[in-house]
A and B are shown apart, each in its own frame.
Chain A
Amino acid sequence: MSAETTPLAIDTPTAPKGRSVLKRLLTNPQGVLCIAFLLFVIVFGLVSPVLAPYQPNQADLDAVNAPPFSPGHLLGADRAGRDTLSQLMWGTSGTLLGSVLVLVIAVLIGVTGGLLAGFYRGKFEAVAGFITDVIMSLPSIVLLIALFALTGPNVLVAMAVFGVLVSPTYYRLVRSVVLAVRTELYIDAAKVVGLPDLRIIGRHVLWAVRAPVVIQSSFVAASGIAIQAGVEFLGLGDPKQPSWGGILQNANANIYNNRFGVLWPALLISLTILALVLLGNVLRDVLQSSAHNNTLKKSRRRELVTSAQRARTEADRPDVPQEVLLSIRGLRIGYPDGPESVREVVHGVDLDVRKGEIHGLVGESGSGKSQMAFATLGILPKEAVILGGSILLDGEDLLADNKALKAARGHRIGYIPQEPMSNLDPSFTIGAQLIHGLRAVKKISAKDARKHLIRLLARVGIRDPEGVMGLYPHEISGGMAQRVLICGAVAADPELIVADEPTTALDVTVQAEVLELLRELSMERGLAMILVTHNLGVVADLCDNVSVMKDGRIVERSDVDSLFTAPQQRYTQELLESSRRVELLEV
């Protein structure tokens, strides 16, 4: 039902298609730079048999400790007269092979284990969880050094073991993604059509984990290179084969004779790691952000907000009759469509609510009805832009003056939300939240607030108010939670209640009780109410006047009796017809 009120949030960030990922990766300057550098490193290693000026370990005794840029030795040479550039080129393939090995082994073990554990759970998950905990508690560098005693100088074996040691990071990542995906209904649907588990995992689950795995791989490759260079630097590599870490070690030992020797291997190692880490960040942005980036430029947003504010101050105060409590005039709300453009979803709507009146705002999803309610409360989503108009509470423009809005909210305007459970904080007791909320808007001692709220809880139909004050939200039912929120909304004696689909999440019998309660409260306290709903039955039950919204405009407005007996607009008739089709008229 959340689609009902947040039509603009439907575009959940889903992994976009392959082509556009690559395209967006290549339009990101940082991404291009990283990819270009990594490609350069790969080519640098691959072409060494052809382009390297010297063979590996080929010594040129004339060039011992040659400084950079000496003839024939662009980056200089080491103490044995080996050309640094050639050594680095020859060492690259080993490094790349090592990090590919780490990746392959870690992905094979971690992803497979994570998929199976997340999908089947049970004993396999328990055992795999224990094993990963054990592996993660092992100190990897120490283990790799200990391994040297067994295998001798063999970096590939060391990297394979390192692959096993990092596989738990994949396992945990994949398992948590799978746990979320396996409850999706499309997995159930695949089971119902008879798809075997292997196909479900391969087709539906694997697809969902691919983005996080790709991102993680970038970071794992970076740490693989760092670890490999470290192991080689400690002298655990094969001394006959040139390697980045080995070159660094040699240069470091020789630093007093050749100051620049360490520069090149250190630079190559650091830049490669940096490129991989940065690429991982870019990948995360590209793969996990929503498919189209709809953020409005800050300057453009400011421009729009100030022009709306200017229009407000320049225009004459609209003439509002005395008995009108809340008056919305020409309200226009938009959402970013791109960096420069805004798509308007509420097109200059007027709405008057008299004192004590219950005004229904009816419409289907995307009609803008909830946007109106949120604007009145000043709780529109952050990306929304108010493009114009005023919201006058007793003649004071809430949109023009943020202080007025803050003073009115909670104190003079109360709010009853759609989802009672998600509007209560699970980590505080009902009593603590209610008292905190009341004391935030009213000068009252905690003791008095408590007394007042207990009385009010009893009024809204809670049987054991003192007991309920001490309960946590998960300990009460949805219907009770909504009563608690109603209690919170009326606690500070507001004049206006904005109720956004207050009964949509409730069972029909509870809905009837909550509607009854709202009616009684409105009569007792002379409360005005804006009731946002898609249910015409609820409107018929509770409202005095109704505005029908469609596509961001009010298409029809009248008192409740004439709207239902003689709807003027085609759209209203259609709405009525649709809801009467599923109605139980005869009693």
Chain B
Amino acid sequence: MNEKLLQVENLVVTFKGRHGISKRVIDDVSLDLHAGETLSLVGESGSGKTTIGRAILGLAPVTEGTIMFRGEVISNISRTQRRKVARGIQVVFQDPYSSLNPSMTVEDILVEPMAAAGAQGGRQRVRELLDSVGLPSDSGSRYPKEFSGGQRQRIAIARALALDPAVIICDEPTSALDVTTQARVLSLFKDLQEQTGVAYLFISHDLGVVNSISDRIAVLYQGSVVELGEARQVALNPRHEYTRRLQMAAPVADPAKQRERRSARLKLLANDKTTFDTNSAAATL
């Protein structure tokens, strides 16, 4: 549990905007992910949570700082190097519709990572993967459009598992799913972690979802980490003002408790005039 698997140090990501004005999307973020744990990044749109995940995956540019995986630097390296060093980091994306190529069969989708890594596998491995995510073993010959959103997300999880990764970056993997499907996919994530010891960097906008799956939570606001700590503490007894607002804003599926929370939230807002800019004129995205 104590091995530092993934280290993000003083990460800065800037995107070039129009007229050469660059925008600092991630501002000096440092995180560690230990083997077998789940660390969550939670924040609202524009907080930069997805960008951190993409930077780790080599899909967003790292302007400053370093990202290390098992002690080796993986920021700003070529794809060929990445294939050697960082194949232990895989991903599950938010949108199960666009993350699977509609013209490939499930088997082709699952074989692709193994072929890219030159790993042996083939049909037997595909069956194992399908089995581990709870899909029928004959799904291989079918196309993604024959599956529901939740099933597609299972295919995406199977693809991430294909190379036996040490870390999976989960970028809002349940936010496009129905609430009952979400519950099932979340427990699949937990089961897989127990079986394989994989670590998750779990990215979500929903503090509740994050609380149910994480060991630790980092709260992001406008590109910086404002609170980082043990999951229950951050989610249920937040220290930072912004986290507290996030917590109070999440409605509870119980009218009586929700009435209490509502009045508590209004009281909190009345006492505290710090604005967290939810009504600003410029779109933050």
| Partner-B contacts on A (CB < 8 A) | 1, 3-4, 10-12, 14-15, 184-186, 188-197, 199, 203-204, 207-208, 364-365, 461-464, 467-468, 471, 474-480, 483, 507-513, 515-516, 534-541, 560-561, 564, 574-587
**How close is B185's CB to chain A, nearest CB, in angstroms?**
11
Query: Please, how many residues of chain B have a CB less than 8 angstroms from a CB on the other chain?
Result: 80
Within 8 A of A (CB), among B131-184: 145, 149, 156, 159, 162-163, 175-176, 178-183
Given contacts A194-B113, A508-B205, contact A480 B279 (CB under 8 A): yes
Kindly state the separation between the CA atoms of A463 and B281 in the bound complex, as whole angstroms.
Answer: 9
Contact of B186 with A475 in the complex, beta carbons under 8 Å? no
**How close is B149's CB to chain A, nearest CB, in angstroms?**
6
Contact of A195 with B179 in the complex, beta carbons under 8 Å? no
Q: Which residues of A contact B89 (CB under 8 A)?
A: 192
Contact of B284 with A477 in the complex, beta carbons under 8 Å? yes
Closest A residue to B256 using CB positions: A561
* Known interface pairs A534-B179, A564-B255; 16 further A-B residue pairs with C-beta atoms within 8 A, sorted by A's residue number: A3-B149, A184-B101, A191-B59, A191-B79, A193-B112, A193-B163, A364-B181, A365-B149, A461-B279, A476-B281, A510-B278, A539-B253, A540-B252, A541-B251, A564-B253, A586-B236
Q: Which residues of B contact A478 (CB under 8 A)?
A: 45, 283
Q: Which residues of A contact B236 (CB under 8 A)?
A: 584, 586-587
Q: Which residues of A contact B260 (CB under 8 A)?
A: 587
Kindly state the separation between the CA atoms of A1 and B94 in the bound complex, as whole angstroms.
Answer: 10
**How close is B113's CB to chain A, nearest CB, in angstroms?**
4
Within 8 A of A (CB), among B18-65: 44-45, 57-59
Q: Which residues of A contact B205 (CB under 8 A)?
A: 507-508
Q: Could you list 6 examples of A-B contacts with CB < 8 Å?
A: A185-B93, A478-B45, A507-B45, A510-B278, A511-B249, A541-B251
B196 near A: Cβ within 8 Å? no
Per-residue CB contact flags for chain B residues 248-285 toward chain A (1 = under 8 Å, else 0) read 11111111111011101110000000001011111110
Selected contact of B180 from candidates A14, A207, A574, CB within 8 Å: A574
Kindly state the separation between the CA atoms of A483 and B279 in the bound complex, as whole angstroms.
Answer: 10
Within 8 A of A (CB), among B219-252: 235-237, 245-252
Kindly state the separation between the CA atoms of A461 and B278 in the bound complex, as whole angstroms.
Answer: 11
B95 near A: Cβ within 8 Å? yes
Contact of B178 with A185 in the complex, beta carbons under 8 Å? no
Q: Which residues of A contact B250 (CB under 8 A)?
A: 508, 537, 583-584
Kindly state the separation between the CA atoms of A516 and B261 in the bound complex, as whole angstroms.
Answer: 12
Closest B residue to A421 using CB positions: B283
Contact of A207 with B103 in the complex, beta carbons under 8 Å? yes
Kindly state the separation between the CA atoms of A540 and B250 in the bound complex, as whole angstroms.
Answer: 11
B91 near A: Cβ within 8 Å? yes
Per-residue CB contact flags for chain B residues 183-221 toward chain A (1 = under 8 Å, else 0) read 100100000000000000000011111011000000000
**How close is A574's CB to chain B, nearest CB, in angstroms?**
6
Q: Which residues of A contact B246 (CB under 8 A)?
A: 508-509
Contact of A186 with B283 in the complex, beta carbons under 8 Å? no
Closest A residue to B213 using CB positions: A582
Kindly state the separation between the CA atoms of A539 and B253 in the bound complex, as whole angstroms.
Answer: 7
Contact of A364 with B179 in the complex, beta carbons under 8 Å? yes
Q: Which residues of B contact A365 (CB under 8 A)?
A: 149, 178
B98 near A: Cβ within 8 Å? yes
Contact of A540 with B255 in the complex, beta carbons under 8 Å? yes
Given contacts A185-B95, A192-B57, A538-B251, contact A582 B212 (CB under 8 A): yes
Given contacts A185-B93, A479-B279, contact A581 B112 (CB under 8 A): no
Q: Which residues of B contact A467 (CB under 8 A)?
A: 281
Contact of B145 with A194 in the complex, beta carbons under 8 Å? no
Q: Which residues of B contact A575 (CB under 8 A)?
A: 179-180
Selected contact of A1 from candidates B103, B163, B176, B207, CB within 8 Å: B176
Kindly state the separation between the CA atoms of A61 and B255 in the bound complex, as whole angstroms.
Answer: 103
Selected contact of B245 from candidates A509, A561, A586, CB within 8 Å: A509
Given contacts A185-B95, A190-B112, A536-B179, contact A582 B103 (CB under 8 A): no
B82 near A: Cβ within 8 Å? yes
Q: Which residues of A contact B58 (CB under 8 A)?
A: 191-192
**How close is A578's CB to chain B, nearest CB, in angstroms?**
4
Contact of A585 with B252 in the complex, beta carbons under 8 Å? yes
B116 near A: Cβ within 8 Å? yes
Selected contact of A185 from candidates B99, B206, B255, B262, CB within 8 Å: B99
B90 near A: Cβ within 8 Å? yes
Contact of B145 with A188 in the complex, beta carbons under 8 Å? no
Closest A residue to B283 using CB positions: A477
Closest B residue to A364 using CB positions: B178
Q: Which residues of B contact A587 (CB under 8 A)?
A: 236, 247-248, 260-261, 264
Closest B residue to A576 using CB positions: B253
Q: Which residues of A contact B251 (CB under 8 A)?
A: 511-512, 515, 535, 537-538, 540-541
Given contacts A3-B97, A186-B98, A575-B180, contact A582 B149 (CB under 8 A): no
The 10 tightest CB contacts between A and B, nearest first, are A537-B251, A194-B83, A193-B113, A185-B99, A536-B253, A512-B249, A507-B44, A364-B178, A578-B183, A582-B208
Q: Which residues of B contact A195 (CB under 8 A)?
A: 112, 116
**How close is A466's CB to chain B, nearest CB, in angstroms?**
13
Kindly state the separation between the CA atoms of A513 and B280 in the bound complex, as whole angstroms.
Answer: 14
Contact of B145 with A14 in the complex, beta carbons under 8 Å? yes
B87 near A: Cβ within 8 Å? yes
Contact of A184 with B44 in the complex, beta carbons under 8 Å? no
B102 near A: Cβ within 8 Å? yes
B100 near A: Cβ within 8 Å? yes
Contact of A560 with B255 in the complex, beta carbons under 8 Å? yes
Selected contact of A512 from candidates B112, B237, B265, CB within 8 Å: B265
Kindly state the separation between the CA atoms of A575 and B58 in the bound complex, as whole angstroms.
Answer: 38
Kindly state the separation between the CA atoms of A11 and B257 in the bound complex, as whole angstroms.
Answer: 40
Q: Which residues of A contact B82 (CB under 8 A)?
A: 194
Q: Which residues of B contact A515 (CB under 8 A)?
A: 251
**How close is A380's CB to chain B, nearest CB, in angstroms?**
22
**A185, A462, A538, A539 — most chain B CB neighbours (10 Å):** A185
**B102, B162, B206 — most chain A CB neighbours (10 Å):** B102
Contact of B176 with A3 in the complex, beta carbons under 8 Å? yes
Contact of B279 with A463 in the complex, beta carbons under 8 Å? yes
Selected contact of B179 from candidates A184, A192, A468, A578, CB within 8 Å: A578
Given contacts A564-B253, A582-B209, contact A477 B281 (CB under 8 A): yes
Given contacts A365-B149, A537-B258, A582-B182, contact A475 B281 (CB under 8 A): yes
Q: Which residues of A contact B265 (CB under 8 A)?
A: 512
Q: Which residues of A contact B159 (CB under 8 A)?
A: 189, 193
**How close is B259's CB to chain A, nearest CB, in angstroms?**
8
Closest B residue to A3 using CB positions: B149
Contact of B116 with A199 in the complex, beta carbons under 8 Å? yes
Contact of A540 with B258 in the complex, beta carbons under 8 Å? yes
Contact of A508 with B249 in the complex, beta carbons under 8 Å? yes
Kindly state the separation between the CA atoms of A539 and B251 in the bound complex, as whole angstroms.
Answer: 9
Kindly state the separation between the CA atoms of A186 and B247 in the bound complex, as whole angstroms.
Answer: 33
Closest B residue to A509 using CB positions: B249
Q: Which residues of A contact B237 (CB under 8 A)?
A: 586
**How close is A462's CB to chain B, nearest CB, in angstroms?**
8
Q: Which residues of B contact A539 (CB under 8 A)?
A: 253
**How close is B182's CB to chain A, nearest CB, in angstroms?**
7
Closest A residue to B102 using CB positions: A14
Kindly state the separation between the CA atoms of A516 and B279 in the bound complex, as whole angstroms.
Answer: 14
Q: Which residues of A contact B99 (CB under 8 A)?
A: 184-186, 188-189
Q: Which residues of B contact A579 (CB under 8 A)?
A: 179, 253
Q: Which residues of B contact A509 (CB under 8 A)?
A: 44, 245-246, 249, 276, 278
**How close is A456's CB to chain B, nearest CB, in angstroms?**
16
**How close is B168's CB to chain A, nearest CB, in angstroms?**
10
Closest B residue to A367 using CB positions: B178
**A468, A516, A587 — most chain B CB neighbours (10 Å):** A587
Q: Which residues of A contact B95 (CB under 8 A)?
A: 185
Kindly state the separation between the CA atoms of A576 and B159 in the bound complex, as whole angstroms.
Answer: 31
**How close is A492's CB to chain B, nearest CB, in angstroms?**
25
Contact of B276 with A184 in the complex, beta carbons under 8 Å? no
